[in-house]
Each structure stands twice: as structure tokens, then as C-alpha cells.
Structure 1
Amino acid sequence: MTTNSAKDKNSEGDYDLVEEIDNHLRRLFYIKPKAENPKLNPYVVEFFGVLSLTDLRAPQRKLWVIYYAKQPDLDKTVDEIHEKYGKKNMFDMYRTPVFSGAALRDSVKKHFSNLKWFTKGNLLEAPPKSHFNDERVVKTITDLHHLEHQRLYNYVMVKNMWFSRYR
């Protein structure tokens, strides 16, 4: 008799008393129910990369393509870029695992657009007679990546400090 009452009617798993108490207290104190967390795999790494592109019609133009993708989709993304711009015209010059590829892409685009570069989609184009070359672009993107790491570290340390202060 107790085994039937201990079963949850909605699932085949065991009855979770902690979750049931949490749901009851949320209804009792008018707290919003927990949002359903998406099923993310923390072991899938996201990568951010930069490809150097040479335009055959105008070799004096300096172009770079930025991309980000999760590890299983990385080869497919790079192949799509190679198909779009031509495989002979580009080479991979920077690729690194990141916390959020979209955030790093936005910060890179924002940084270069503040330098009056032409940023359209995933394409970065240096203005004519610019002193930027591949090494300088990689150094700038590495610095932006380091700043992102520093922001995340500072956020975690501030949360840790507040948690330890009000424990």
C-alpha cells in the first residue's frame, strides 16, 4: 500500500519529496514556479574562430570571417564558410574554446565597428590603408577573449564574496 502512494502518477520514477515540498511552498508563498531548464550538455564545447580571407578580385582588401559553433557542428560550419567564400582563398588563423561564442562574436564586432571597420554579418573588413594585418587581428581578438574571461572571473568572485558574507 505504501509503495503505490509513494509513486508519482506523472512519471515512472520514484517519488521526490524535496521537489514536492518545494512546489508546495512555492504555491503557499506565491513564488513563481521553477522554469523548465533546457537540456544542455555541459560536455559539448563551443568554439570561436577567425578565418583570413583574400579576395582574388581585389587583393589589397583585408577581410576576415568570424564564426562560432559547438564542437559537433564545427566542421560543418567551417565547410559552409569554405563553400561560400572558396577554399583556396582562406585559412584558419584563430580557433579557441569559449564560454559563449555568440557573446565573443558580439564583442569582437562591436570593437571593430568602433574602429570604423566594415562589419556585415560574420565578415570583418579593414578600411583601406589600414595598419592591421593577420597577427594584429589575432592579438586584438585574444585580448578581447581575455577581457571576457576577466569579466566572468570577476562576476564569480563577486558572487562568492556576497555568498560568504551573508551565509
Structure 2
Amino acid sequence: MTEKAIEKSASVVADYDLESEIDNHLRRIFYIKPVKETHNCKPYIPEFFGVLSLTDVRSPERKLWVIYHSKQPDLDKTVDEIHQKYGKKNMYDLFRKPVFSGLALRASVKKHFAQLKWYTNGNVLEAPPKSHFNDERVVKAINDLHHLEQQRLYNYVMVKNHWSKQYS
């Protein structure tokens, strides 16, 4: 045998992975989805959800809040864009926490306040006139929604963990 044939046969043997072959066959037999090679998201970059209190200079009796979500590297850029749109002097940060999914928390916050008959346009929440809500009550409501979201994720992970222990 020549040297190239020996190198080629050695590389073919080295490329064969028995564990991946067994894994592929078991996934086909039990109808389990194949493992993705590349992941679209970077799990080590946290996502933040925040609320800014907004004071309208033209009508100070209006109660406005701006909600936002962003990944950590884009957080300053997002907040700066909001400051440019509404004015930096008119707002201050009320709530900012890392979350699993800022989009999901934003949707649940909008749904909660829409059920209270608030005006929810885009990222702006506006309390109805003569509402008893102030900054502290809004933060408490959002904190409760954040806690519910964390509780749902915890329950999901625990059910999956229990399921995997049961059938292992």
C-alpha cells in the first residue's frame, strides 16, 4: 500500500464516531428531533427589560411610562434612542432587570395593562385620567408579572427535569 492510501484509510477511521451514529439511529427510532449543530442565540448575553417614567411637559397630569427590552450590548443604544425620542429631561428609569425573554415580558405587561383599560400604543403605557396608579404601583405590578414569568420558567424546567428522571 502506498503512503497516501494508508493516510486516507486512517483518516476515514478517525472521522467515524460511533456515539454520534448511535445517537442518530436512536433519534430516528424514537422520533426525536436531531440536534442542531449551530445555535442562533448566544445564551451568555443577558436580555434586559425596563420601564422609564415619562412626564409630558405639555400636559403634566398625564401619566406615561415607556417599556423597552434589549440585549446587554445594545442596552445603552436603546435607552439613548428613547431619550432622543421623548427628551432626556422628561424621564427617569424605574425598573430594569435581566429576564429570560424581554419580548414575552413586554407582551404580558401590555396585556395586563390593556385589561385595566389603559392606552397601550407601541411601547408607551398611558394610565386613564383620574387613575390611582403612580410610579410605585406600576413598578409593583411589573415586578409581580416578572415574578410570574420566572415562576412559569421554573415550573417548566422542574417538569422537564422530573420527566427526564422518571424515564431515565
In which range does the TM-score fall when normalised by the shorter chain? 0.7 to 0.9
Cα 1:56–1:29, aligned 2, differ >3 Å: closer, same or farther? closer
Q: Deviations over 1:115-161 (max 9, x none)?
A: 00000111100000000000100000001001111111111222222
Structure 1 length as normaliser, TM-score? Answer: 0.85
Task: Indicate whether 1:5 and 2:12 are aligned.
Answer: yes
Structure 2 length as normaliser, TM-score? Answer: 0.85
Q: Structure 2 stretches of 5 or more lacking a match?
A: 1-5
Secondary structure in 1 matching 2:129: coil
Q: Deviations over 1:9-39 (max 9, x none)?
A: xxxxxx5443344345556787664455424
Cα 1:38–1:157, aligned 2, differ >3 Å: closer, same or farther? same
| Cα distance in 1, alignment partners of residues 17 and 145 from structure 2 | 45
Task: Indicate whether 1:61 and 2:62 are aligned.
Answer: yes
Q: Deviations over 1:29-87 (max 9, x none)?
A: 87664455424222111100000001111111100000000100000000011111111
**Match for residue 44 of structure 2?**
43
**Match for residue 11 of structure 1?**
none
| Cα distance in 1, alignment partners of residues 146 and 14 from structure 2 | 49
**Aligned residues, how many?**
161
Percent identity at matched positions?
73
Cα 1:160–1:29, aligned 2, differ >3 Å: closer, same or farther? closer
CA RMSD of aligned residues (A): 2.1
